[in-house]
Structure 1
Amino acid sequence: FNMWARNWRYLPWGSSCLWISPIRSMRRSLSPRGQLCPLPPVPLSYKLLDGQDTLPPVVFLHGIFSNKNIFQAEAKTLAQQTGRKVLTMDARNHGESPHSPDCSYEAMSADLQALLQKLGLAPCVLIGHSMGGKTAMMLALQKPELVERLVSVDISPFVSPNMPNVFKIISLMESLNIPGDLSHSQAFKLLHEYLEPFTEDLSIRQYLFNSLVRIDGQYVWKVNGENLQQQKHQLLDTLQVQGVYRGRTLFLRDTHSSFLPSSHYSKIKLLFPEAQFQDIPDSGHITHIKKPQEFMNSILSFLS
């Protein structure tokens, strides 16, 4: 106990600052008989829009450093235009969901599975961007009966050459100090000016601003960046799972995506035999922000 106590910084589950998190990762606990067993899933923060029970619900899974609010407009549009229930949620270590030292896709898939069963939303349509796309693919390969169809947005189940660059943004987020007396528009302007030399893509800056909130007079990031940084190799790695998902699957990407290169297509088809691949030109990695109308058109077409 003393060994572990020296290596943890205690933090209430509800806290969400970027700069405080458990230092070590312990992905398994010991059972009373001394056997290794999975840690239990964490209760995810979510928002559910009501709809018809006769249609499979739609579930949005956000990317790394984001939260459920990033798909707020898309969720509302889908609920209105399709009559389906639509669920958005915060992944562990993001938004209002609890922090955990385990950042693996196995753990995030278990969280998702527990929430779907709790709300009675399976089988469902999973739409996941980046990290959320890999979580969606993990669940589909593990439990295909829970997934009616699947959309992966600009991410491959295999290692992508550009993914490591994503984590460079953590140090920039940590070093940015935004005065708490600024309005949200002033805070975004400051964030925009600070990050512009590092990324010319406005959609990325808008994406990051989604996780910046003011709590008790201070701007903080609703992301557990320290744990994500420590376990980035798990997040970047090829999905470690056996299985095949034979349901309808759509892979959306930018034409020149380095997160979902066309060289991966043949390998992807082995895991997802019914996979379709669709390009949205000039959409970048944050497809739903940079090309929102084209993104929604693709989703609505796929659902119909």
Structure 2
Amino acid sequence: MLRRFPRAPAPTGGLSVRPPLVAAARSVVTAVPLAHVEVPGREDRLPLVMLHGLFGNHGNFHTVAKALVSRGSGKVLTMDARNHGSSPHSPLMTYEAMSLDVQHLLTRLGITKCIVLGHSMGGKTAMTLALQRPDLVERLISVDISPVTTALVSEFSTYISAMKSVRIPDGLSRSAARQLADDQLSPVVQLPHLRHFLLTNLVEVEGRYTWRLNLEAISHHLTDIMNFPVFHKPYLGPALFLGGSKSPYMSSKDYPEIQRLFPKADIQYIEGAGHIVHQEKFAEFITAVSKFLLPPEC
């Protein structure tokens, strides 16, 4: 079940001032070649680019991609952000950098126009891409995140510290290694489904278990990841902000800034969903996204 909110009126007062980006964000940004997977879809429709959230990888959207293609979408590209999954590591972890990575991948693939969908960190990357390159983005879907500061730096910092402290001896089977890591994370990361999500990043490399995430870079740039870059010119294309009704990441206090930067935004909530909307309410999520993606005659 969806709750739709009317578009917020244009703000009449001053906007809150966000903290400035750290110095690294102002340095020269070099793109990294992103690992990606393509799910073939209709050739007569624009490709859909899907961007995962913090601690995630391209596999988070694999089932979603297949479902959207079955409903008639264009081909779907899922990709690993820098410092995540199989993509290269880099000391820089800002939205400008992550947006540039996506731009370079699309250029390499010959894609000049696309639809972009992102969840959480991926949503902020998608918004950055749309604001930087409106010529490249035909429409935007942001899943359970707004273009404002996310005030949970300490929580994510705690998760990173817990992951860094995990110790696994060599020679264990994968199942034994995961169980040991789960046991070591559980005092800090108490929700089983969250530990399971973090453990998808545990990989074996030459007989030793390690995290495929670049925890150092992510930790160093947590403030950048929780913030959002400052933009003054809005994105004028269609935009869907799709949140979970039980999630704290997208609330009515964000509406003025959403409206300022995305004046054509449609704000919807899926009832009963938390932050991982696409997993918790899969059918409702696919229906909402499909309606936004496909032309009215479809």
Q: Name the TM tier (shorter chain).
A: 0.7 to 0.9
Alpha-carbon distance in structure 1 between the residues aligned to 2:138 and 2:214: 31
Cross-structure match for 1:237 = 227
Of residues 213, 225, 244, the one that matches 1:223 is: 213
Opposite residue 289 of structure 2, the aligned amino acid is I
Unaligned residue ranges in structure 1 (runs of 5+): 1-24, 30-37
Matched, 1:64 2:54: yes
Q: 1:158: Cα distance to partner?
A: 0.6
**Normalised TM-score (structure 1):** 0.81
SS in 2 for 1:82: coil
Match of 1:147 in 2: 137
Deviation at 1:59, TM superposition (A): 0.8
Q: 2:112 aligns with which of 94, 102, 122?
A: 122
Deviation at 1:106, TM superposition (A): 0.7
**Corresponding position of 2:39:** 49
Q: State the Cα RMSD in Å.
A: 2.3
Partner of 1:209: 199
Question: What stretches of structure 2 of length at least 5 have no aligned partner?
Answer: 1-22
Question: Which moved further from structure 2: 222-231 or 232-241?
Answer: 232-241
Structure 1 position 103, deviation (Å): 0.7
Q: Distance in 1 between matches of 2:189 and 2:282?
A: 20
Counterpart CA distance in 1 for 2:238 and 2:112 is 16
Partner residue in 2 for 1:107: 97
Indicate conservation of the 8 Å contact 2:166/2:185, yes or no.
no
CA positional deviation for 1:54: 1.5
Cα distance, 1:297–1:201 mapped onto 2, change above 3 Å: farther
- How far is 1:62 from its partner? 0.7
Whole-Å separation in 1 of the counterparts to 2:266 and 2:211? 36
The aligned length equals: 273
Query: Contact (CA 8 Å) 1:128, 1:152: kept in 2 or not?
Result: yes
Name which structure has the greater RCO, CA cutoff 8 Å, separation 6+: 2
Matched AA of 2:157? F
The residue that corresponds to 2:147 in the other structure is 157
What's the CA shift for 1:276? 1.4
Q: Deviations over 1:238-281 (max 9, x none)?
A: 32223211212111222243221221112211111111122123
State the Cα distance separating 1:123 from its structure 2 match.
1.5
Q: Distance in 2 between matches of 1:199 and 1:134?
A: 25
CA distance in 2, matches of 1:206, 1:301: 31
CA distance 1:210–1:122, shift in 2 (3 Å): farther
Evaluate the alpha carbon distance shift between residue 54 and residue 180 of structure 1 in structure 2; reply closer, same or farther with a 3 A threshold.
farther
Structure 1 contact 27–101 (Cα < 8 Å) conserved? no
Mapped contact 2:42–2:72 kept (Cα < 8 A): no
1:94 corresponds to: 84
Q: Residue deviations 1:151-180, cap 9 Å, x none?
A: 111111111233542232101111223455
| Partners of 1:229 and 1:51 in 2: CA distance | 37
Residue 137 in structure 1 maps to residue 160 in structure 2? no
Structure 2 counterpart of 1:291, from 281, 284, 288: 281
Residue of structure 1 equivalent to 2:8: none
Which residue number in structure 2 is paired with residue 166 of structure 1?
Answer: 156
CA distance in structure 1 between the aligned counterparts of 2:273 and 2:133, rounded to whole angstroms: 31
| 2:5 aligned residue | none
After superposing the two structures, state which structure 1 stretch, 230-239 or 180-189, moved more. Answer: 180-189
What is the CA–CA distance in structure 2 between the aligned matches of 1:163 and 1:259, rounded to whole Å? 13
Separation in structure 2 between the aligned mates of residue 167 and residue 125 of structure 1, nearest angstrom:
32
Q: Deviations over 1:163-220 (max 9, x none)?
A: 5422321011112234555555555544554444444544423322322222222222
Residue aligning to 2:7: none
Q: How far apart, CA to CA, are the structure 2 residues paired with 1:172 and 1:118?
A: 38
The alignment-based identity, stated in percent, is 43
Amino acid at match of 2:59: N
